[in-house]
Chain A
Amino acid sequence: MNAEQSRKAIVLAAIWTTLVLVPYWMVPLGGYTALATRVLVLGLAAMSVNFLLGFTGVLSFGHAAYFGLGAYGAGLTLKFLALSTPLALVAGTLLGGLCGAILGTLIVRRRGVYFAMVTIAFGQVFYYIAFQWSSLTGGDDGLRGFSRQPIDFGLFKLDILSSANNFYFFVLFCFALVVGAMGFILRSPFGRTMIAIRENERRSRFLGIPVERHIWIAFTLSCFFMGFAGALYALVNNFADPRGLHYSQSGDFVMMAVMGGMRSFWGPLLGAAVFVVLQDYLSSITVNWMSFVGLLFVLVVLFFPRGLLGFIQRSKA
């Protein structure tokens, strides 16, 4: 193992140790475990957006649609189909992912601003469906009347409803699975073609990579990850909100990714942590909390174009 590899292993161990020990350090610092759960879920969503933005180089401004679809998929499953948390997660992931896969075939032909515009347009379609179809989705009030269920392991049941710590560890386990999958893909030959497309689309084409097909696969994978994050979010809140599908929510995810550092794998998680903690703290002081988050975003973009994590990594190097 060379120095670079051992440094990476140490950083990775530090990140996971910090995450696993959250319930023990968060409370003494004045936080609460549920806040960390939100960071994990929104961080996972921001990392899914970044899978596309940071590693394939295409900006989707409508990814909240697949996040929201995941949330509604999970909520509707718990409310109408079966009282099963794993089934709700699977249903949410499939709903978000499959819708992404289908719409992706139309979206990937566009580039740059046009790509972003088309993603917004399709995203808004889902927002208005959720908003208007009150009988199924609860309309503007959101989908209520369901709650996450204990996980049945046969021998024992894991109570994730009343125990905030149990639920945090459950979400962390889910988070680890998906983040592991993302990392695995990014280190594979396919992941390297994604980076090739980000770096130089023309060169990629002239290396024999069918660029549109690869962007479609990356888009679809990112929608599945997004759907999964959305399903988890429905479990966090026991509620699915139509505003979770709105393009402003997509904007928040992009903001988290850019603020944290879109060229780094963990950057969006840091971005989400900053965003969620600031939101939690500032919104108790002022209703204009978003102005402060916005100001921070502008400062980061102006002075740390590689994001907070990019800045930290660079100043170490």
Chain B
Amino acid sequence: MNVLEINNVTKRFGNLVAVRDVSLSVAKGELCAIIGPNGAGKTTFFNLISGFFPPTSGAIMFDGRDITKLSTHQRVTLGMARTFQITEIFPELTVFENVRIAAEVAGGYRLRPWINRSEQANIHARVEETLKLVSLETKTDRLVGELAHGDQRAAEIAMALALKPHLLLLDEPTAGMGDQETYHITQLIRRLHRDSNYTIVLIEHDMRVVFHLADRICVLDQGKMLAQGTPTEIAANETVQAAYLGNAA
């Protein structure tokens, strides 16, 4: 079954059509990369999926359920988690506290005025397990705002993972990183996909990352879906080459 099913979605801002009649399905366990030049509508498309704003027309299905009209937090509750191009974290809290909030919300405790010892122990175990997955287990007591950019990104991914999502949306996970950090994040995403079997949709500019990770690549250009296919198909696609890839692939 497809985790995500987007049917003919369009988003207009006044006269500008940011996303034009785009359809996309993502199967369970798949890693789908969205690429395209700047201003192609990638982030707008992500915002539509995650409920930042509603589409002008079209429908979005998640786990077989129509979520077009649901708010962001309702979509998250159904199992969708997202990271941002510019890292969105709680800078003045520690790594542990950042992920604990996510784990508590996911555990259904967000309105609780108390938490008992066994529940707390479960949450702590969950947080530690998640931090281990993203290799931040030695930095749990550090303030997130004081970490290196790559570690902040890893903490943001950890928060998303603590929500136990069925779908992980990553908006330019390697943006602004050096080669070493890019390598680490790429390895992390690869582990999440291959070993932990997460369904992932990511936007990425770095073609090395995209071709290394993706099962399938979607190319957006001027708000339209230019092409979809496996990395080999996309690399061989002449329209895509002309519009975007150049000789990078």
Contacts and interface: CB of A to CB of B under 8 A. Distances in A.
Contact of A208 (B91, B106, B112, B114): B106
Contact of A207 (B76, B93, B114): B76
Interface of B: 50, 71-73, 76-77, 81-82, 84, 88-93, 97, 100-102, 104-106, 109-115, 159, 163
A184 B113 CA distance: 7
B72 A203 contact: no
Interface stretch (A19-27, A122-130, A190-198): A190-198
Nearest to B123: A189
B102 A188 contact: no
A185 B247 CA distance: 58
Given A195-B101, A199-B92, A203-B88, 6 more contacts: A189-B104, A199-B93, A200-B89, A203-B90, A208-B73, A209-B73
Contact of B76 (A190, A200, A206, A217): A206
Interface string A65-81: 00000000000000000
B105 A208 contact: yes
A118 B100 CA distance: 34
Question: Per DSSP, are chain A's interface residues mostly helix, strand or loop, or mixed?
Answer: helix
A206 to B, nearest CB: 5
A205 interface: yes
Contacts of A39: none
A211 interface: yes
A185 B113 contact: yes
Interface residues of A, number: 22
B113 A208 contact: no
B73 A210 contact: yes
Contacts of A202: 84, 88
B90 A199 contact: yes
Contacts of B113: 184-185, 188, 190
Contacts of B92: 199
A61 B243 CA distance: 54
Contact of A192 (B73, B89, B104, B163): B104
A189 B50 CA distance: 24
Contacts of B111: 189-190, 217
A196 B90 contact: yes
Contacts of A199: 90-93
Given A195-B93, A199-B90, A199-B91, A207 B101 contact: yes
Nearest to B88: A203
Interface string A197-239: 0011011011111110010010000000000000000000000
Contacts of A193: 101, 104-105, 110
A73 B198 CA distance: 57
